[in-house]
A and B are shown apart, each in its own frame.
Chain A
């Protein structure tokens, strides 16, 4: 620290350190453990030194420490740059900088590094929560700056955190128009300048790629959002909201699994009635399928429709995906179905003799009536719909149908398809979601993992594939009203899935609307969309001078009036004429090489100027004498001012 520099007091320094720590904390995820340890040590060491007012470590001790830490970062990341390596290096340097920070200069540097750390956090996560967190921290850092500059760097009395926070908030609000302008129009760079942040999939579970006992009932305990949907028109009734996911065609006695998709064209579908238009925002779930309202009428922009009418993405969905789709709620699908698919929809493993016997009894009936008979069986027996079904082992279907009779959708769909196949009707299990909750705060539908559902499809001659939901026979409320209204009150459900009105639930729905808006309008604002917007404004090339000029013009149009207004308001009272004349004289002196200091009194200036410009000494003495007479000696007069002006006009010192 340089001599005579203003030192920060302890409280100011401690709050700066706290803010920096808060900025490094989110990086804890991607920094190695030893680095976190070192940073924790450095931060707490500095805080400790503050509390005991101890001496800072000498530089000969810090230097080798610094070098070894930088080498450590290099060894860890094989580079000092890039996203993670850069952040690691920056954190290390900030921690070390703390060790020599006492005064204003270093504190300012740390503040600006703090602003930079804010940006680095966005390289790893662009979630709504992170944005809110960082915005709060930016306000706090700005408030620190406001406080230091308005009260003083080294004093504490007069510091009122709330006032400074309010001032900082106002400053940031004033910057909002500029921020919006920059956000909308600053050329968006398509990765990978840095590897784009992939917010870790919040959905830890999600539909599995097979259906085994318990896989759906486990999901009922998760109120994670699976996807959100906005309908262009009215929202279809709850009972019609079958979100089609993976189709399970293979059964091995315990698990229903998918048959790998080929590149076959989609099954032919005839829609009945108008298609429903909607936009679906899918949370990442690491699986290749997309969700679509049964049955999709077109391919989504980011994928295709398989021969099993599944919407599939081009690869695993690892980041939040948003696509537009249209679906028919009523349809005829696969009237002319390939025999191979029908044949494999009849395959069954060995076992479950009782179920086979039951189904054999229906073989004499026409296929459509076999379906009705099976549903009637579910209706006639005391089946219960429960979140905690027992685990059926051995001949699981027999045990469920004839002994336990307690099950979740996977049991009903699975046993129904088994019965149908045993009775000679091609059938398959379809996984997906059913229903969803309309968020009144944003008028969109939230579908959660707990809405996961499985149902059956049977193929009937002349009708094609037809959706049959045996769960609806046992628990009609599940389909019409949702999971929460269909299970007994005693069954435990996560808060966001329950029906009881809870203010916290309302808050969380409001928050979900904010998150949704953030995802759509901020994260979803891609270079493509920017280009589309700019084309509407008549700009086709971001690299053109035309755009740069237009962009700068917009910024100036926004800031110049404000600057003009500020200057107008901050200008002092109009100076008297002799002062104006005096300023022009000072200006001339400066041009002639005589430095004019604002705190230097006129007589002293006179002496210096006369010595510097001896050939003009007389004129200088006259002018200064006249000025003093006008301004300080109480001899102000209009003629005097005219005289002064003339004398100054005549004063033409040549540059020495």
Chain B
């Protein structure tokens, strides 16, 4: 791989870290998710920087960004776009909706009705939308960052397991530590910083990086480990369901991206362990509570020996 691209990737990471303080791991996970061509779900309380993260990511990577606030009266057309009859030409013209952007922040996705949710999730999986019989491809790269607020469930439509599975990763940002928070309070206005943000990567760089991720070496021994983890999640009595084959594929891709971010061209068990909670937690609902339980996932990791 071009050395220049690597340098630019790291300066991009540095730039994001400069804006979102004290969240190095989450930022790397989000970038790894993007490099693995997956969508990201951020579950957290309001005001911890979900939008800022999405915006910064898009701006730094030189991608077109649009934020969509999901509400209960939102219709699929509000997302995908509508065809409007134009008198001068006498034709219907398609007005693309916000989904025709490279990075979409679907804010509070669980506030929209299942109909709108599934329109978005279908677009995420197919990477194209069909309107009035015309299929229109979505831009490439296409990256959805959805957020949901776990604390306030009244008047929401929680995503069912099948749709949660479409998100490659789920991360939580959490509150910043005091030092980072202090630096943020004393520093410049985030909004202004965002305005001034220059792209650190070109869209072609991103394409090259995504292609590079696929080339990261995976040893048979590592696949053994990955399979052992997947198997343990399916055998465990703690979870409603085990990890799906889609999750297994996604886990491998994110681990590759993670290795690449670490400057390696082969995946190590360390990489798997680093990304496993992000990939697995939202798919492994605890029996009984039907909620994600990070402790159970951590226990699963510590229970499976590395072969």
Contact = CB atoms under 8 A, between A and B. Distances in A.
Interface of A: 6, 152-155, 597-604, 628, 631-634
A6 B305 contact: no
Contact of A601 (B217, B265, B269, B303): B269
B302 interface: yes
A154 B237 contact: yes
A603 B267 CA distance: 12
Nearest to A633: B266
Contacts of A600: 306
A572 to B, nearest CB: 9
Contact of B304 (A6, A599, A603, A632): A599
Contact of A153 (B221, B237, B265, B306): B237
A601 B268 contact: yes
A152 B219 CA distance: 33
A479 B159 CA distance: 91
Contact of B270 (A153, A597, A604): A604
A48 B278 CA distance: 44
A631 B219 contact: yes
Contacts of A632: 217, 219, 221-222, 266-269
B178 to A, nearest CB: 26
A633 B219 contact: yes
Contacts of B268: 601-603, 628, 632
A618 to B, nearest CB: 20
Contact of A597 (B265, B269, B302): B302
Interface in B197-225: 217, 219, 221-222
Interface in B31-66: none
A640 to B, nearest CB: 13
Given A632-B219, A632-B268, A599 B237 contact: no
A621 to B, nearest CB: 14
B6 interface: no
B273 interface: yes
A635 B302 CA distance: 28
A633 B272 CA distance: 14
A157 to B, nearest CB: 10
A155 B287 CA distance: 10
16 contacts: A152-B237, A155-B237, A598-B305, A599-B306, A600-B306, A601-B273, A601-B306, A602-B268, A603-B268, A604-B273, A628-B268, A631-B221, A632-B222, A632-B266, A633-B264, A633-B266
Contacts of A599: 301-306
A599 B301 CA distance: 7
A196 B185 CA distance: 86
Contact of B217 (A6, A153, A155, A633): A633
A603 B301 CA distance: 15
Nearest to B222: A632
A153 B238 CA distance: 11
A6 B273 contact: no
B266 A634 contact: yes
Contacts of A602: 268-270, 306
Contacts of A155: 237, 287
Contacts of A603: 268, 270
Interface residues of B, number: 21
Interface string B173-202: 000000000000000000000000000000
A599 B300 CA distance: 10
A603 to B, nearest CB: 4
A598 B302 CA distance: 8
Given A599-B301, A599-B303, A599-B305, A634 B270 contact: no
Contacts of B219: 631-634
Contacts of A604: 270, 273
Contacts of A153: 237
Nearest to B225: A601
Contacts of A598: 305-306
Contacts of B237: 6, 152-155
- Scoring A153, A154, A601, A602 by chain B CB atoms within 10 A of each residue's CB, the highest score goes to A601
A1 B217 CA distance: 48
Given A599-B306, A601-B306, A603-B268, 16 more contacts: A6-B237, A152-B237, A153-B237, A155-B287, A599-B301, A599-B303, A599-B304, A600-B306, A603-B270, A604-B273, A628-B268, A631-B219, A631-B221, A632-B267, A632-B269, A633-B264
A597 B273 CA distance: 14
Nearest to B264: A633
Interface string B262-285: 001111111011000000000000
Contacts of B305: 598-599
A604 B268 CA distance: 11
Nearest to B217: A634
Nearest to A152: B237
Nearest to A6: B237
Nearest to B259: A632
Contacts of B222: 632
B77 to A, nearest CB: 43
Contacts of A633: 217, 219, 264-266
Nearest to A628: B268
Contacts of A634: 217, 219, 266
Contacts of B265: 633
A154 B272 CA distance: 30
Contacts of B270: 601-604
A145 B302 CA distance: 26
Contacts of B303: 599
Contacts of A597: 302
A599 B307 CA distance: 9
A632 to B, nearest CB: 4
Interface in B223-278: 237, 264-270, 272-273
B300 to A, nearest CB: 9
Contacts of A628: 268
A481 to B, nearest CB: 68
A146 to B, nearest CB: 16
A628 B217 CA distance: 12
Contacts of B273: 601, 604
Nearest to A155: B237
Contacts of B266: 632-634
Interface string B58-100: 0000000000000000000000000000000000000000000
A631 B287 CA distance: 36
Nearest to B272: A601
A636 to B, nearest CB: 9
Contacts of A154: 237
A633 B220 CA distance: 10
A159 B304 CA distance: 25
B287 to A, nearest CB: 8
A152 B236 CA distance: 9
Interface string B132-150: 0000000000000000000
4 closest Cβ pairs, A-B complex: A598-B305, A601-B269, A152-B237, A601-B270
A536 to B, nearest CB: 53
Nearest to A607: B270
Contacts of B267: 632
A9 to B, nearest CB: 10
A154 B288 CA distance: 11
Nearest to B300: A599
A33 to B, nearest CB: 43
Contacts of B287: 155
A364 B56 CA distance: 141
A116 B279 CA distance: 48
B230 to A, nearest CB: 15
A537 B307 CA distance: 51
A62 B302 CA distance: 39
Nearest to A153: B237
Interface in B291-307: 301-306
Nearest to B219: A632
- Scoring A6, A154, A603 by chain B CB atoms within 10 A of each residue's CB, the highest score goes to A603
A152 B305 CA distance: 20
A599 B299 CA distance: 10
A600 B273 CA distance: 9
A599 B221 CA distance: 14
